[in-house]
Structure 1
């Protein structure tokens, strides 16, 4: 899914909410689905989406980076205090 498609899908979800055709929970689920699909299908110039696994504090965090090492650094930078043990793998 490219960025434009993702934005259109989010816009459609918001429009359904505004029209009363979707509840807030429905919209949240749809937007989360769009975001997850976008992240796992992400193809940028020399970058890839990586998902962290391991400690609950970082479990499921997705970052975009040019390498696994850079992805680990980006995940670690999001943590306040001691960085827990985790690993990253390509999302998707």
Structure 2
């Protein structure tokens, strides 16, 4: 999914919320799903990397060009420099 498509889908979810066609929880779930799809199906030089090994980092997903960069991004976000990272596989 490209950025423009993701933004359009988020805009649709917001519009449905504003028109009363959905509730906040459903809109939040839809936006989360859009972001997850965007990150795991990203078409570019970056890949989605999932952190593990420390409770604070467990399940954190970042986009990065390399394993080193992914570890640095996880460390910046959650303060865990020793977290393991693996490429999230597309399903």
Per the normalisation by structure 2, the TM-score is 0.87
In structure 2, runs of 5+ residues without a counterpart are: none
How many residues are paired up?
A: 89
CA RMSD of aligned residues (A): 1.5
Is 1:87 aligned to residue 71 of structure 2? Answer: no
Structure 2 distance, partners of 1:13, 1:66, is 30
Shift of 1:49: 1.7
Q: 2:22 & 2:53 partners in 1: Cα distance?
A: 35
TM-score, normalised on structure 1? 0.86
Q: Is the 8 A contact 2:75 2:83 kept in 1?
A: no
Aligned to 1:27: 27
- Change beyond 3 A, Cα 1:8–1:30: same
Residue in structure 2 matched with residue 9 of structure 1 by the alignment: 9
Per-residue CA distance 1:9-56 (angstroms, 9 max, x = gap): 1011000000001000000000000000000001223x2121112222
Indicate the residue corresponding to 2:72 in structure 1.
Answer: 73
Q: Which runs of 4+ in 1 moved over 2 A?
A: 83-86
